[in-house]
Chain A
Amino acid sequence: MSSLPILSIIIFLPLVGVALLSLINSTTANGERNLKQTALWVVCLNFIVSIAMLINFDQSDPNFQFTESYFWLNSGISYHLGVDGISILLIILTTFLMPFCILASFESIKVSLKEYLIAFLILETLMIGVFCSLDLVLFYLFFEGGLIPMFLIIGIWGGERRVYATFKFFLFTLAGSVFMLLAIIAIYMETGTTNITYLLQFDLAPSLQYIFWLAFFASFAVKIPMWPVHTWLPDAHVEAPTAGSVILAGVLLKMAGYGFIRFSLGIFPIASSYFAPFIFTLSIIAIIYASLVALVQTDMKKLIAYSSVAHMGFVTLGIFTFTLQGIEGAIIQMLSHGIISAALFLCVGVVYDRIHTREIDRYGGLVNRMPLYAFAFMIFIMGSIGLPGTSGFVGEFLVLLSIFSVNTYFAVFATSGVVLAAAYSLWLYRKVIFGSLIKDDLQDILDLSYREIIILFPLAFLTIFFGFYPQPLIDIIEPSTIQLITNIANDVAIAEPASYEPVIKMESEY
């Protein structure tokens, strides 16, 4: 497989789809159907190609695989791609969610369908590029480029306050990211290259690491998002169309989590361990604060958005424990949140398409008319709570385990977040699904259509499957993670040989 540039194929296949879509005349009788099917086929094909990559992926090799390197800007800044155990599953998550996004938009998008599909395909290219890039400048290119299609998706096909939301989204993210750009340039000046494989081995001076770490942190903290710069997320989620929310929660937030693992931990290990308590504090605040705010929401999407902030708090907690369980837990939490929050937004989309409101008070007693929907919704709510037997449990448990081994106080606060998650999730479920069906416009609401069943049930299956059997994920993640934390441990030990205590624990079994 080494001869075939499979990563480039996965990245640029959606752009081929864009070219095809722009050739289709949407005004003809079958135009809309052709557009939808072309887009769907392209993203499905891309998913199949990415699965082929996963099959050929050597799980025992912790290094980057399927690497490609071409001359780009100069000898230090090249077009360099590759995946390892940390990034490959996030690529699969992206290609996996895209067909659902396209499917979910079939009925709900009434205007400018063609442009909508093109924007999504461009977004897919840019998102996959983020996870594949092994060059900082290339990474930045994909990371920031994603703003353009997302800006248009929220702004054109969004809700009533879409202009406000999309400007907030764009400017918040841009303001965070520009500091990363300066840091990237400074790294280039310092080392003469932006090649990530090289930088992972390179020991930057600690004083520089602190500055660069903060610059990267500014970008990732906005994107993931951490308290107190999370305020764009609820707005963007509420106003975005369903598929936009799915991608936002499912993939875009993961880009920052991935960035923390790959860059903050990998390139600036000393700064990361220095700032870890700071991250813990922010994460704990995020978990508790966002959960409490979620409790008082009246809008379904806003509630799920705040729950995303809380769940991402667990991800950052896990990442900065520097333990194997912590980082593995964070990655599994990201994957699981990618599936579950995407599914929850799709669930909201299902009822929104029917009643055109997201007000929780406007619903009630849906179980009487929509048993299938109630069932699917329940699975995802349970996953969101982190109930044992769902994938949400695996990630949260591993993270809590690792944070407990690092600091008991943080663990206590973090665990209280799980209880709060149960409170707001169950409250949402009770208000929407249970009770008596008294609202007039809900009397003849229809249960899931075949299309919606095709969308929701694979996600439900995966939620439960990985809840019981997460081993396949761990097998893929583990070798690269072990290599990462070994590197960190070495770097930190070199930096502070006298006072070095084994804060960073190596445990391959638990």
Chain B
Amino acid sequence: MSATAVALPAPVVEMIGVRRFFPGPPEVQAIREVDLTIGPGEYLSIVGPSGSGKSTLLHLLGLLDNPTDGVYRLDGVDTMSLRERRRAVLRGERIGFVFQSFHLLDHRTVLENVALSMVYVGVPRKERMARARVALERVGLAHRMEFAPTTLSGGERQRVAIARALVAEPSLLLADEPTGNLDSANAEAILEVFDELHSEGMTLAVITHDDHVSRRAQRQVRIVDGTLQW
């Protein structure tokens, strides 16, 4: 089934000869030469030890950072030529983030946290709330909507973060060590949510150092010293 995904004509992510250097001294070559294509509906994991450049790759994929050179097309849009303002819009519309440390706003309810991701995309308030409810039901948190994130368990918080990432209907779900702060039971629950999303056709890229998490993906890529290895 991997063959069909790669063969699709319009990939979600298309990176060609992407490099990212951080000016020194000493100059750090975080990403040396990366060619990466992620087709629609693909479930990809990027594994690597710490310091291998996987965080930098995530930032590049998520449009949070600019490559030093190379080509990066997201949904066929050449992101290299975009101005910061357009990149922010593209980021809000096409990419959903799931972070290791959840990044929920403590003083807002779960529902508001989820609805927040549609604020900058320009969805009207009423629709935001309705869609946030649906997304929370989807991750099994219908009973926690009015709770403060601080009262939830780690697993529940990460599911809130996933709901937030999904609710704006992104083309690509980017997860950075999504199970890093969770015990094995909660981690398993999160991975099951990912499996489910994959079966529903969502494109996922999970970045991790954990082989167990990585093996759940349909395709695995290893990153070592800023270069990808298959």
A and B from one assembly?
no
